[in-house]
Amino acid sequence: MSSDQRFFDFLKERIGLDVASVGEAIIERAVRQRSLSLNAQTADQYWKQLLASTDEQQALIEAVIVPETWFFRYPESFATLGRLAVARLAEIKHMRALRILSLPCSTGEEPYSIAMALLDVGLAPHQFKVQGMDVSPLSVERARRGVYGKNSFRGQDIEFRDRHFTEQTDGYRIADRVREQVRLQVGNLLDPTLLANEPTYDFVFCRNLLIYFDQPTQKQVFEVLKGLTHVDGVLFIGPAEGSLLGRLGMRSIGVPQSFAFSRHAEPAPEPVFVPLPAPIPQRSAAPIPTRPRPFSTLSAQVVPIKPSPPQSDAADLLSQIATLANEGKSLEARAACERYLQSHPPAAQVFYWLGLLSDVAGSALEAQGYYRKALYLEPQHSQALMHLAALLESQGDVAGARRLQARAARSERKQ
């Protein structure tokens, strides 16, 4: 029942979701879950219930949107924000508080990370305010609660937890001094009146959202984001979205791994990043299955066969690669990939990570080669398919991109 186009169109209209970006299987699964919960026996029955209930409409959206976030994701973005905030305050001669926007803010990890980063570089509470916004009321309510489990603290550097959280029986509660810096609300980026009466923001975080929209919606949302960002402000985006902003008249500020862009009077000559679509609504990046995946220019010669190391060693290395890449430690992640390939059989997952790291570094040709190596080893590797599709689309090969997206969707449907 769930392959009915009506449900795809509904989600496109309400939240701008492009089915090709996530695969039909994700939406089909969500529709099946909601249908079962309402005892709907046919597509028509569920469709009528969906149209008749705003609560059910939101429930379907919640079932499709699976928040996947953690504190200080892409750490260099927050380090860069701290430096820029200090400079911006001096520029405006401390005449007003800085305004920072985080959307979608999900369950609050990003806006609270912004507040912690600015407090840690010495800004006083009266010098900045953070606005968090998300289309999901459930996510916003969780953010307001401010209690987080261990999954929200990833990577090796979590010293901030001791400074800004209190451990309690159900998790870690964020300190009031951080919470008070953040205002949270429900809002839809596709709403033309969004924050219409608000002053512009000095810094806007909108990461890993544009990749879920088709091109017309991307441009529509970008215009909204541009209108929300001060003319001298900075827009932080996800690693997959740099090429898009480059084509729309923004340019990287030049800080590696910050994914930060400012306005540019003329089209940027070369985007710093090539779009890498994020994984399908987002699943955990941590332990990655032991499948073949990406990096570095490997020669065609075959590495001499060695006794296979213990399987746990391979899994540990894959997990380490994922952690380093998610923390923005590209050189270390690349080195870990090379270590894996030297001591284990070729793996699609490693080639995938190498492709992603090359993509973020702006090496489009190298990234394309790694993605194709991943797909040679594992033809239905969904992440490699989607990332290669985005790379081809940025190069003008729309037909090739659509073929890969269709393959990714079929792969999801079989899982």
Structural domains of the chain in order of their starting residue, each with its CATH number: 5-64 (no CATH), 75-263 (3.40.50.150), 311-414 (1.25.40.10)
Please give the sequence-ordered ranges of beta strands (E in DSSP) within 135-257, or none if there are none.
147-148, 165-168, 171-174, 182-186, 201-205, 229-236, 250-252
φ, ψ of residue 184 to 5 degrees: the values are: -115, 140
User: pLDDT-derived band of residue 126, with 50, 70 and 90 as boundaries?
Assistant: very high
| Torsion 119-236-368-288 (CA) sign | positive
pTM of the shown model: 0.64
Q: How many CA atoms lie within 13 A of 398 on its CB side?
A: 2
The confidence score (pLDDT) of residue 276 equals 46
Q: How far apart are CA 198 and CA 337, in angstroms?
A: 46
Q: For residue range 210-233, list pLDDT tens digits in order.
A: 878 888 888 888 888 888 999 999
Q: Could you tell me if 102 and 176 are in contact, meaning their C-beta atoms sit under 8 angstroms apart?
A: no
High-pLDDT (> 90) share of the chain, % = 32
Residue 300 pLDDT more than 60? Answer: no
Question: Which residue bears the tokens 């979590």?
Answer: 158
Q: How far apart are CA 388 and CA 359, in angstroms?
A: 10
Q: For residue range 136-175, list pLDDT tens digits in order.
A: 899 999 999 999 999 999 877 899 999 999 999 999 999 9
Task: Compute CA 240 distance to the chain's CA centroid, rounded to the nearest angstrom.
Answer: 8
Element housing 389 (H / E): helix 382-394
Question: Which residue bears the tokens 């599709």?
Answer: 389
| Torsion 49-54-56-58 (CA) sign | positive
Q: For residue range 175-216, list pLDDT tens digits in order.
A: 999 999 999 999 988 887 888 888 999 999 998 888 788 888
Q: How many CA atoms lie within 13 A of 115 on its CB side?
A: 27
Q: How far apart are CA 114 and CA 116, in angstroms?
A: 6
Q: How far apart are CA 377 and CA 314, in angstroms?
A: 17
SS3 for 173? strand
Instruction: Among 20-24, 203-207, 294-298, name the one with the lowest average pLDDT.
Output: 294-298
The 3-state secondary structure of 9-27 reads: HHHHHHHCCCHHHHCHHHH
Q: Which two tokens stand for residue 15?
A: 């939240």
